[in-house]
Amino acid sequence: MTNRQPRYDFLSGGRREYELNELKVPQVKTLTSSLFIGLVLVGLYITSLYSYLLFHSLTEIFSIVIGWSIFILAWNSQQRLENHYLLFLGVAFFFISLVDLLHTLAYKGMGVFSTHDANLATQLWIAARYLQSSSFLISPLFLRQKMRLPWALAGFTVTTTLVLAAIFTGLFPDSFIEGVGLMPFKVISEYLISLILIVAGGLLFYNRAAFDRQVWRWLFASLLFSIASELTFTFYVGVYDFLNLLGHFFKIAAFYFLYKAIIEMGLERPQRLLFQNLQKNQQELREALEEVQRLAMLDSLTGLYNRRHFFEGGEIEIERAQRYHHPLSAIMLDLDYFKQVNDRFGHNIGDLVLREVAECCRQETRTADILCRYGGEEFAILLPETSMEAAMEVAERLRQLIAQMKFSTDKGPLTLTASLGVAVLCDCCDKMEILLSHADQALYEAKHSGRDCVRQYSQPN
């Protein structure tokens, strides 16, 4: 039996790292939030049975508070924002929430606008939703360009003022007639608003790389529930109908996800909302540093470890082998007459040969084994948990595979051979240099035995 057991840890950065399974901590906060939301929704439904007007007022106040909170967060963060997407939405939701407030006050039964009927509240609803959907459609423009805040404020002020003037002076098309129900303008508008939101969702998906993943998901969910809300509002007949109730529940969900994406994330994890580019740049820098560290450990031609990292890992393996009394073997491999390859076929072919030999060694060894381009045409391999007998088998297999390699070149076919020396860790050697010296002595013996062979190190008597 050969003593060559597989290992499941591997070397990285000169130290042994083990991947530990993270303990799954129960998501207490998520569960608590879900229960709270469920209780709120049940409470709102019970409220609608008692007084639909109260339910409607609470629902609209919820969305108004979130809309103005978005504005406050965006306004006070404008100096630190990397793009003006959030700032544009903040300004938009100030005016959207203003129109929603008028819609709430104008709702049937409130008595604020006593000379108007349910048509006024429906017109204000349509105006707010046009404003909201158009804002989501335009907002991706400000992911890559700055917004002129005075112009945005002026634009929203003028637009909102003109729309409200049209509504209160009777120029705005009728949207709801008592006893008749929804007017064609209202139904067509809901479908058009839904279409605008669908296009806005497509643009959001297209630009998803500009957002934190969770923020993007919540924004997308908000758009989906907004679309569901608009479509639901195309079917009700009375302002107190069940479908009107369902549409408002969808609106609650839409604004809840807006709250999660912008307000909660902006307060708890501002770097994921306000400084997404900074976070992305930090990640890119971290990956670049890891790549530099990785390249510093490798031979640029073959992709094997360089000598410095090979020795660092080797010392760790020797210490481990001695502590647990496990076998550890080393192989030194040298390509025979390699200088003639470079002289006759050129250095490009020589480099190709070295890469192919390195790949052969990589394929025939385990993940736990440490491979190194030791210098020139010489390679070194460290085999943890491997006895002399098993290491000799590996070396012989490598020798045969290398001898079977054939290269077609412009100057004719090329074949090559290799000589290998094998040594095993023993009591007389406690350092990497000594173990490799023993393997090198065995390689020297292989060279003097006619090359293209494997020899093992034997301690002198």
- CA-wise closest residue to 52 among 282, 438, 397, 60: 60
Section 360-379 average pLDDT:
95
Q: Which of 456, 353, 355 lies closest to 414, judged by CA?
A: 353
Q: Are 385 and 365 in contact (CB under 8 A)?
A: no
Report the largest interatomic distance among the alpha carbons of the chain, rounded to a whole angstrom.
116
| Cα within 13 Å of Cα(433), Cβ side | 1
Average pLDDT estimate for 152-160 = 95
Residues in Cβ contact with 320 at an 8 Å cutoff, skipping those fewer than 6 apart: 16, 326, 384
Q: 400: which 2 tokens?
A: 């045969």
The pLDDT of 87-112, averaged and rounded, is: 92
Q: Where are the beta strands (DSSP E) in 19-68?
A: none
Examine the pLDDT at 178 and tell me if it is beyond 70.
Answer: yes
In this prediction, residue 264 has a pLDDT band, given cuts at 50, 70 and 90, of: confident
Residue 364 has pLDDT above 70, yes or no: yes
CA angle 313, 314, 319 (to 5 degrees): 100
The predicted model gives 96-124 an average pLDDT of: 91
**58-67, 72-81, 164-173: least confident range:** 72-81
- Non-local (6+) Cβ contacts of 268 within 8 A are none
Q: List the one residue out of 168, 185, 163, 161 whose CA is nearest residue 116.
A: 168
Tokens of 238: 């009375």
Query: How far is residue 71's CA from residue 300's CA, in Å, rounded to a whole number?
Result: 53
Average predicted confidence (pLDDT) for the chain: 86
Task: Specify the higher pLDDT residue, 88 or 38.
Answer: 88
Q: How far apart are CA 448 and CA 173, in angstroms?
A: 102
pLDDT of residue 3: 47
pLDDT of residue 294: 72
Q: Is 455's pLDDT higher than 60?
A: yes
314-349 pLDDT per residue, tens = 999 999 999 999 999 999 999 999 999 999 999 999
pLDDT for position 108: 85
The predicted structure's pLDDT at residue 254: 92
Lowest-confidence region among 20-29, 164-173, 286-295: 20-29
* pLDDT at site 453: 97
> What is the C-alpha radius of gyration for the chain, rounded to an integer number of angstroms?
37
Which residues make beta-bridge pairs with 31? Answer: none
Paired tokens of 198: 């669908």
Residues in the chain, total: 461
Q: What percent of the chain has pLDDT over 90?
A: 60
Res. 73 pLDDT band, cuts 50 70 90? confident
**Is pLDDT of 12 > 50?**
no
Measured distance CA(167)–CA(125) in Å, rounded: 11
Q: Is the pLDDT of residue 22 over 50?
A: no
pLDDT at 237 (0 to 100)? 65
Q: Structural domains in the chain? A: 34-284 (1.20.1070), 298-456 (3.30.70.270)
d(CA 379, CA 376): 8
Share of the chain above pLDDT 70, in %: 87
Q: Report the distance separating Cα 326 and Cα 5, nearest Å.
A: 10
Measured in whole angstroms, the distance separating CA 393 from the mean position of its chain's CA atoms is 44
Task: Evaluate if residue 360 carries a pLDDT over 80.
Answer: yes
Q: Is 120 exposed, middle or buried (0-12, 13-18, 19+ CB in 10 A)?
A: buried
Does pLDDT of 9 surpass 50?
Answer: no
Tens digits of residue pLDDT in 192-207: 999 999 999 999 999 8
| DSSP state, residue 386 | B
DSSP bridge partners of 420: 333, 454
**Cα distance between residue 336 and residue 377, in whole Å:** 9
Q: How confident is the model at residue 273 (pLDDT cuts 50, 70, 90)?
A: very low
Assign 296 a pLDDT band (cuts: 50, 70, 90).
confident
Residue 73 CB-density burial (10 A; 0-12 exposed, 13-18 middle, 19+ buried): buried
Q: Is the pLDDT of residue 25 over 50?
A: no
Identity of residue 281: N
* CA 214 to the chain's CA centroid: 10
Continuous H helices in 207-330: 213-232, 242-258, 265-268, 270-273, 276-297, 307-324
Averaged pLDDT, 291-317: 87
| pLDDT for 285 beyond 90 | no
Mean pLDDT of 224-251: 84
